[in-house]
Structure 1
Amino acid sequence: MDAEFWHSRWAEDRIGFHLTDVNPLLVKYWPQVNAQRDDRVLVPMCGKSEDLVWLAGRHNDVVGIELSDIAVKAFFAENLYTPLVTGVGSEHVYSFDEITIYQGDYFTVPVAPVDVVYDRAALIAMPQTMRERYVERLLSLVKPGGRILLVTLDYPQSQMDGPPFSVPEAEIATLFNGCKITHLARDDADENHPRRRQGVERFAEEVWLIEV
């Protein structure tokens, strides 16, 4: 998945991964993270997610990283926020009250360390060849003792092209080796789920707590 792939998805409005409401898994499992109001929260590859607004209602410093300038501008416009914009070239920083979004390459934007991470759509957006690099970068941004609330998918990869990709339990254990991993939930889709109707024999959403 190169940068042009994601720029094209946003430019063509092919954003089926975008949720128009706050993710109910975030609401349900965020208390497990035990995040304090002054904890710095990171949402990698945040798009224009309403989850940022929900988190900003509970924390003083919510940071997003997003490649697409279309997504970032849409987030602020749709929420009627007028951000302060700084930066040069292909990377900019958009700030409004508790929310700061770094628009640029996840692997290079200069983000200060954070206390907590919420990842709903970043790891599963990565093909297997990029996941180790993604996690290495993520862990480098988390302070010692930090926590990650991670949402993943589990399905037979051979039966559906990603993204979003399947990241099974064994791979989670390998990627976050050395961290404490707690499996919080698994929600198996029934036969009426769109993916199941497309012929995928199983499709599950899983939630993890990773303690660094």
Structure 2
Amino acid sequence: MQEDWLKRWEEGRIGFHRDSVHPTLVRHWPTLGVAPGSKVLVPMCGKSLDMRWLAEKQHPVLGIELSMLALEQFVSEGSGDVARYQHTGFSVMRQGNIELWCGDFFHFHIQQAAEVGAFYDRAALIALPEATRQRYAFHMAQLVPPGTPGLLISLARPEPHGPPFNVTSDEVQRLFAPNFTITHLGDGEVEPNGFQESAWALVRRGPIES
């Protein structure tokens, strides 16, 4: 799977990338009550312009991405100096208040996420095959502390094959309900290709909540 993802970036097969900020982020992020200045974790971030929108809202951003090519494109398309360093197996770039960690999301650990106060997933869960999505949901629960809010965008599509993969509402509930409270924020319009996005507000539950 990793090899296919890297090859997509090398060949420019990145139809999932949006040339504008996702309207669902703009519509629903303000409703989450994320504290000003909270660092936002963006797993499998690609070169998403959504990170710049979050940064403009005064949120430090921590993006994690497997493809260095994606991250190099992101900083080259931005402005400002870029600092580069290595941290526990990751190559890290910083531009303004955006940190970009190049490496495997599943190798990113809680010690590195200590300051995370919110998260945003528009293209991570739906990029993973079914067998990996359970691992992803559990890893997210391990990374973020109790009370952490997040915005998840899932995708339903006529064919199950991907990426992006079909992730039903029932699956979102099954994956995240053990560790998060879940609120369905709404569904987007059905696109001509049959795709339909859904927005979810998640909050990491504490150890004594049920």
Q: Same fold (TM over 0.5)?
A: yes
Give 1:189 deviation, angstroms. 1.3
Give the Cα separation in 1 of the matches to 2:88 and 2:149. Answer: 32
Aligned Cα root-mean-square deviation (Å): 1.6
Q: Identity rate of aligned residues, in percent?
A: 40
TM-score by length of 2: 0.90
Give the Cα separation in 2 of the matches to 1:88 and 1:40. Answer: 18
Give the Cα separation in 2 of the matches to 1:90 and 1:46. Answer: 18
TM superposition outliers: structure 1 runs of 4+ over 2 Å: 88-91, 155-158
Deviation string 1:29-79 (CA, Å, 9 cap, x unpaired) is 001211122211111111111111110011342110000000000000011
Q: Paired residues, what number?
A: 200
Q: Which residue of 2 aligns with 1:51?
A: 50
Q: 1:94-173 alignment to 2 at 5 Å?
A: 94-110=93-109, 111-113=112-114, 114-158=116-160, 161-173=161-173
Matched, 1:205 2:206: no
Query: Residue 36 of structure 1 contacts residue 59 of structure 1 at CA under 8 Å; is this kept in 2?
Result: no
TM-score by length of 1: 0.89
Q: Which residue of 1 aligns with 2:207?
A: none
Query: Residue 83 of structure 2 contacts residue 95 of structure 2 at CA under 8 Å; is this kept in 1?
Result: yes
Deviation string 1:153-200 (CA, Å, 9 cap, x unpaired) is 112334xx210011111111110123211000112315xx1x14xxxx
List runs of 5+ in structure 2 lacking aligned partners.
Answer: 205-210
Give the Cα separation in 2 of the matches to 1:97 and 1:88. Answer: 18
Deviation string 1:84-142 (CA, Å, 9 cap, x unpaired) is 11017973011122110111111003432311111000000011000011111111111
Deviation string 1:12-33 (CA, Å, 9 cap, x unpaired) is 0000000011111100000121
Give the Cα separation in 2 of the matches to 1:55 and 1:166. Answer: 26
Measured at CA, do residues 185 and 82 of structure 1 come closer, stay the same or move farther in structure 2, by a change above 3 Å? Answer: same
